[in-house]
Structure 1
């Protein structure tokens, strides 16, 4: 067997998975969660039902995969090390802004909001499998800076909420409410920089202020 064969099969499987998730998102938006069947998703994505059922035996499993994919950062690098609060928050902020700019994340929220009255479990899945793990990573970063003595953080949950909120409230939530809302790359950089400056001014050890 060719040594390249396993990697080829893996690549094909990943491509099919991407096709399935893209088709599922489009159909959930178009028809709603309830009216979208796995069979219809298989047809739209161009894969066999056997292939789809092998990867996603239930619609709930497929939705969970959509959440995980949507919340996975493109940059899979490890969290920034503690020791430089401003630099670490800048890295986190830039990654978060990139995540918020993805179409699939906005689509996911639209699906959850539209289906919330009939399928509240979708919101629970979105929170527990998507938002919460991401939030926990940012909270843990603040705790690491506190342990390193470079930050004074009495409430890491609040600190993470404040920091992420300063970015998402400008870059993400208006996209769900205001047709045509867009932000230039320069404005994105400014929003992240201001969030970093505010958080650093509040939490840097010794009352240090970043200029």
Structure 2
């Protein structure tokens, strides 16, 4: 094989190496940023500290994240991304569907770093109001919209009937968060047992179905 024939393969391997390296650096930076933001707050975390914590050069950091705000946005997006990455529930059994969605939401809210992330945003909000918008737009809003879309799908299938999907989604998620998450913001020892969390999710789903279901839903696909 000539040098010309091997060049494309070598070039492709180099490009793949640089992509993989950039992805590893990005992951290391976001992980380091999460630790520092949680420990030091937004104002106390500098890009230089993040680069040192991640073990990369400042030039590498600035190539990925030119500003601290962009790094914070990436950290928020990553923190919330694992919350609703499962497939949407099957349509026709709203009790079971809401239980599935609610369980994912409860698992997300009870992650060890989630309350700390909220505390950072709340504490820094007077000086950095854009943090609140970032946290909402990149974090809670996508999850809320996925729940809203599921509710509208059930509405279209004729299993649920309501006038305001935003209101129903807020009611459902609020019932769960009010038990599994918000007490944790003030009570550092608030740590309900998994069975109690599951019961809170079940009751939230049952309440929504009792209020908005058309006919009888047993949670098994029969409406």
TM-score (norm 1): 0.88
1:90 touches 1:193 (CA, 8 Å); kept in 2?
yes
2:176 touches 2:200 (CA, 8 Å); kept in 1?
yes
After TM superposition, give the deviation of residue 179 of structure 1 in Å: 1.5
Structure 1 runs (4+) greater than 3 angstroms displaced: 1-16
* Separation in 2, partners of 1:83, 1:5: 50
* Separation in 1, partners of 2:37, 2:191: 24
* Separation in 2, partners of 1:179, 1:131: 22
Correspondent of 1:132 among 141, 149, 152: 141
After TM superposition, give the deviation of residue 97 of structure 1 in Å: 1.1
Match of 2:196 in 1: 187
Match of 1:141 in 2: 150
Match of 2:103 in 1: 94
SS of the equivalent of 1:182 reads coil
SS of the equivalent of 1:79 reads coil
2:84 touches 2:143 (CA, 8 Å); kept in 1?
no
Correspondent of 2:40 among 19, 22, 31: 31
Please give the root-mean-square deviation of Cα atoms over the aligned residues, in Å.
Answer: 2.3
Judging changes above 3 Å, is the alpha-carbon distance between structure 1 residues 115 and 147 closer, same or farther for their aligned structure 2 residues?
same
Judging changes above 3 Å, is the alpha-carbon distance between structure 1 residues 104 and 15 closer, same or farther for their aligned structure 2 residues?
farther
Judging changes above 3 Å, is the alpha-carbon distance between structure 1 residues 5 and 172 closer, same or farther for their aligned structure 2 residues?
farther
Deviates more, 1:5-14 or 1:120-129: 5-14
Give ranges in structure 2 of 5+ residues lacking alignment: 1-8
Instruction: Work out the number of aligned pairs and report it.
Output: 210
Give ranges in structure 1 of 5+ residues lacking alignment: none
* Separation in 1, partners of 2:213, 2:148: 15
Alignment of 1:107-126 (within 5 A): 107-126=116-135
Alignment of 1:3-82 (within 5 A): 13-73=22-82, 76-82=85-91
Correspondent of 2:205 among 188, 196, 202: 196
After TM superposition, give the deviation of residue 73 of structure 1 in Å: 2.5
Question: Of the two structures, which has the highest relative contact order with CA contacts closer than 8 Å and spacing of 6 or more?
Answer: 2
